[in-house]
Each structure stands twice: as C-alpha cells, then as structure tokens.
Amino acid sequence: MSSLKRQQKRKLKKLRMKRSQWPVYLMLSPMVLMSVLPILYIVFTAFKPIGELFAYPPKFITLRPTLDNFKKLFEASEDTIFPLSMYLFNSIVSTVAVVFIGLAIAVAAAYVLSKKRFHGREIIFKMNTLSMMFVATAVSIPRYLIIKEVGLIDSFWANIIPMLATPVGVFLLKQFVDQLPDALIEAARIDGANDYQIIWKIVLPLVKPALATVAILLFQSSWNSMEASKMFINTESLKTFAFYMNTLSNSGNGVAGVGISAAASLLMFLPNVVLFVMMQSKVMNTMAHSGMK
C-alpha cells in the first residue's frame, strides 16, 4: 500500500509540474514559432512547383511537392565548364582545414590568455572581445589589403587563412579554461608535462562542449562563406561550393531561376542544421557556462 501511495504522489507531482509549466510554454511558443517558420519556408519553397511559386495569394505550405527544382539545379550545373564535384571538393577541403586549424589556434590562444601571466594579457583579451563587435563587411577592405600584401590573392589558401581568426571561439574557450583549477595545471607541470601535453591531455578533454560549439561556428562561417571566391580568387577552379550555388541560382532567368535558387538554398542550409542538431546539447552547455545568454 505504501508503494502505491508513493506512486500516486509522484503522479500528482508530475501533473502539478506540467500544469505550472503551461505559462512558460505559452510564453516560449511565439519565439519558437518565429524561429521555426523561416526554416519551414526554405524547405517548402524548395519543393514547390512553378505554379505554386508564383501563386497569388502566396501559399506557405507546398500542396504538390516536386523535385523539379533540384533536377533543374543539377541540369544547369551540367552545362557549366567545371563540374559540381570540383566546387564541392574545394568547400569540403577548406572547411575541414578551417575547423581543425581554427580549433587548434583558438584552444592555444584561450589557454595562454587564461593560464599564462604576461604583460599585456588583459589588453589582448579586450582587443579580442572588441573585435566581436565588427561585422565582416566593416573589415572587408582592410582584410583585402592584408591578403594582397601577404600574397594570397588567387590562392587556395585564401579560402582558409582569413577564416581562422575566431574571436567568439577564443572568448568561449577562455571561459571554460578559466574554470580549470590552476592546481591541476601545476600538478601536470610537476610531473614533467609541457604546455602542448597539458593542452592535449588535460585542457581538450575538459572543454569538449566549448570545442563542439566553436567547431559549429567555424563550420558555418567557412561552409557559407563566399567572400574569398568573390574578392580574393580569380581562378574558377579554386572557388567554393557556396559561391557556385549562388551564381548558379542567380543565373536562371525568370521563373526557372526562382526554383533553382530555392533548391540551392536548401542544399546549402541542410549541413548546418544537421551539424547543429547533432551537437545541440554541447552548444547549450557552452552557453550556460560562458556567460552568454
């Protein structure tokens, strides 16, 4: 009898908790709806036939889904000089390089700024934080001048090197490294570990949520970037998939171009969604411990 009473009490508590959470759900529902609607619009538009793309009044939900837009997209790619696979290969190579090299640089910078004591450390971190306020458009001209002086114009490295600087990544990782006890680092030094071994064996395993978040940010910035292909690279064989999809979707005339553009947008958007869904818990954990709400 006592066990039955306990079970009943637990059920009552759950019911009360659910009822008390209804106001929270009602407050969050409009925000969730506003976040989900643009994603659904991209998906629905990509599968709309021509008749529904220009229907009046416009319809949000696709009534007769079709794959014609994707067929036209790949048919248009067959008429170009360079194959679609070449642009895709360039994007995959450059994105993988940006993610791994960018993570290595961000972790090293976060470790130095958090656990090393040297003159100008606070100024460097403040400059890193200040750089988060500038959008890419505001620094496009200085970035072009630097890339030109370094000699990376019309080079494949132009797809990689400008994307390695991640002020947000350094900030997030530093917040996690700050939480690591200094005694842990000192114990590793006493055992004979150098800085590289400390980062590899101690810091990296303990900051995995932040690493996953920074990896997502690096992936998105590199995969969706068209800046290098537009400004720094003239050779067509060195340009990326994002640039190719953009030019291909804009090359269509009239009605056909709208459907091709919608299909290209969905293809570019899907990898970002899949990666975020896979690492969603890591991202939430990072934001909870970094002070960014």
Task: State the average pLDDT over residues 34-45.
Answer: 83
Structure tokens at 116: 């090393």
**What's the gap between Cα 101 and its chain centre?**
15
In which band, very low, low, confident or very high, does the pLDDT at 291 lie, cut at 50, 70 and 90?
Answer: very low
Residue 14 has pLDDT above 80, yes or no: no
Q: What are phi and psi of 63, to 5 degrees?
A: -85, -35
Task: State the average pLDDT over residues 42-59.
Answer: 81
Q: How far apart are CA 272 and CA 96, in angstroms?
A: 14
Lowest-pLDDT range of 22-31, 38-47, 145-154: 22-31
Residues 237, 82: contact at Cβ < 8 Å?
yes
Q: What percent of the chain has pLDDT over 70?
A: 83
What pTM did the predictor assign?
0.79
Task: State the average pLDDT over residues 18-40.
Answer: 75
pLDDT of residue 244: 85
In which band, very low, low, confident or very high, does the pLDDT at 293 lie, cut at 50, 70 and 90?
Answer: very low
Size of the chain, expressed as the number of residues it contains: 293
Residue 93 has pLDDT above 90, yes or no: yes
pLDDT of residue 35: 79
Task: State the average pLDDT over residues 246-273.
Answer: 74
The amino acid at 177? V
- Per the prediction, the chain carries an average pLDDT of 81
Task: State the average pLDDT over residues 116-139.
Answer: 86
Residue 241 has pLDDT above 70, yes or no: yes
Q: What percent of the chain has pLDDT over 90?
A: 14
In which band, very low, low, confident or very high, does the pLDDT at 284 lie, cut at 50, 70 and 90?
Answer: low
Q: How far apart are CA 288 and CA 270, in angstroms?
A: 26
Residue 143 has pLDDT above 80, yes or no: yes
Q: Alpha helix locations (H) across the chain?
A: 2-46, 50-53, 68-78, 84-115, 121-131, 140-150, 167-178, 182-190, 195-198, 204-206, 208-223, 227, 241-251, 254-278, 280-290
Of 126, 67, 14, 104, residue with least CA distance to 259: 67
Q: Which residue has the higher pLDDT, 237 or 80?
A: 237
pLDDT of residue 292: 44
b/e string for 47-59 if b means 16 or more Cβ within 10 A? bbbbebbeeeeee
Most confident of 112-121, 246-255, 284-293: 112-121
Lowest-pLDDT range of 51-55, 235-239, 248-252, 269-273: 248-252
Question: For tokens 């570990």, what's the residue?
Answer: 193
pLDDT of residue 16: 57
Give the class (CATH, top level) of 82-290. mainly alpha
- Give per-residue pLDDT as tens, 260-274: 788 888 888 888 888
Q: How far apart are CA 218 and CA 106, in angstroms?
A: 11
For residue 205, say if its preceding peptide bond is cis, omega within 30 degrees of 0.
no
Q: How far apart are CA 280 and CA 44, in angstroms?
A: 24
